[in-house]
Amino acid sequence: MRTPVVLVPGDGIGPSISSSVVRILDAAGAEIDWQLHHAGAETLASHGDTLPDETLQAIRDIGIALKGPITTPVGKGFQSVNVRLRKALTLYANLRPVESLPSVLTCHTEIDLVVVRENTEGLYSGIEHEVVPGVVESIKIMTRTACERICRFAFEYARKRGRKKVTAVHKANIMKLADGLFLDCFHEVAEDFPEIEANDSIVDAACMRLVMNPHQFDVVVMENLYGDILSDLCAGLVGGLGVTPGANIGDGVAVFEAVHGSAPDIAGRNLANPTALLCSGVLMLRHLGKDEVADRVMNAIRKTLSDGVTTGDLGGKASTTEYTEAVVARL
């Protein structure tokens, strides 16, 4: 039976990289029933909203979506569709697998780690006010419920994927209550997973250790702000946002997405690199239990890149469609 998935192509290069992913996953035998729905800046004109109710409802009903990048104007205009989606669907876990790819020049090779970021609270709760002129307060909210939920997600992910170690990243030496609560929850949850090594690292030291020797990490879990920063740091370790997949996951619902933006400078020119969204598609296949197809697609991506077929952002000459067909030929 074909598996229904909501496809949201997004803005800019989104439609082009989404059709590339659909072409490759269909050719690989993923047996997905793509259900097209729209969101983004361009949907505002056609549907009167950047995130139409029908799109949100379809993701709720089906529980799985693959989403292209969406344009967000800086400083004015509508609220980020990504933030609205996360809030409306309580997508509390942000998952970023970080894996070295062939032909992508980086300082370290053979990196294979996973960043798990709490998505709903911390300093991103948006509670700020001016106490007196010149003094503002920005409040960091941490709850036992959300801390336990994200730590359990990280351990369950590690167990399911056969990973050996989970590291909590925190600053509990300074934020003794907020990060102390996170750390307590982490060690309590860890007791339910005795086969997985649990340790912790202070965030500044974790950054240095990641840059100097990323191989010592397996799964890392942290609150929102540290997760935002470390997930991009880790993307940088393997070649940047153009090759990094991501997913936002809640209970019974998951949205897989490229973490780069809509790249308006190259939109419509057949230059975009679909690898990040494609790797998000691979992550989605694994989430759906289609590991065999996921391995086939991942091997074809690796072979394509090691054969030197790359798009302009990685120093190559292939267009989006040439790269796509090269991957299909290697499935």
Q: Does 18 bind ligand NAI (CB under 6 A)?
A: no
Nearest residue (CB) to ligand NAI, 94 versus 120? 94
For residue 312, which of 270, 279, 280 has the smallest C-alpha distance?
270
In this structure, are residues 68 and 258 in contact, taking their beta carbons and an 8 Å threshold? Answer: yes
Which positions ≥6 away from 115 have C-beta within 8 Å?
94, 95, 96, 97, 98, 220, 222, 227, 230, 231, 234
Question: C-beta of 226: minimal distance to ligand NAI in Å?
Answer: 19
Q: Does 318 bind ligand NAI (CB under 6 A)?
A: no
In this structure, are residues 97 and 117 in contact, taking their beta carbons and an 8 Å threshold? Answer: no
Q: Does 265 bind ligand NAI (CB under 6 A)?
A: yes
Q: Does 224 bind ligand NAI (CB under 6 A)?
A: no
- Candidates 260, 279, 281, 305: give the one binding ligand NAI (CB under 6 A): 260
Q: Does 261 bind ligand NAI (CB under 6 A)?
A: yes
Nearest residue (CB) to ligand NAI, 180 versus 240? 240
Which positions ≥6 away from 183 have C-beta within 8 Å?
168, 170, 172, 200
Phi first, then psi, for residue 165 (nearest 5°) are: -145, 140
Q: Does 16 bind ligand NAI (CB under 6 A)?
A: no
CA distance 182 to 151: 9
Nearest residue (CB) to ligand NAI, 71 versus 304? 71
- Candidates 266, 278, 318, 327: give the one binding ligand NAI (CB under 6 A): 266
Helix (H, G, I), strand (E, B) or coil at 66: strand
Q: Does 82 bind ligand NAI (CB under 6 A)?
A: yes
Q: What does the binding site for ligand NAI look like in residue numbers (CB under 6 A)? A: 13, 69-72, 82, 241-242, 257, 259-266, 272-273, 276, 313
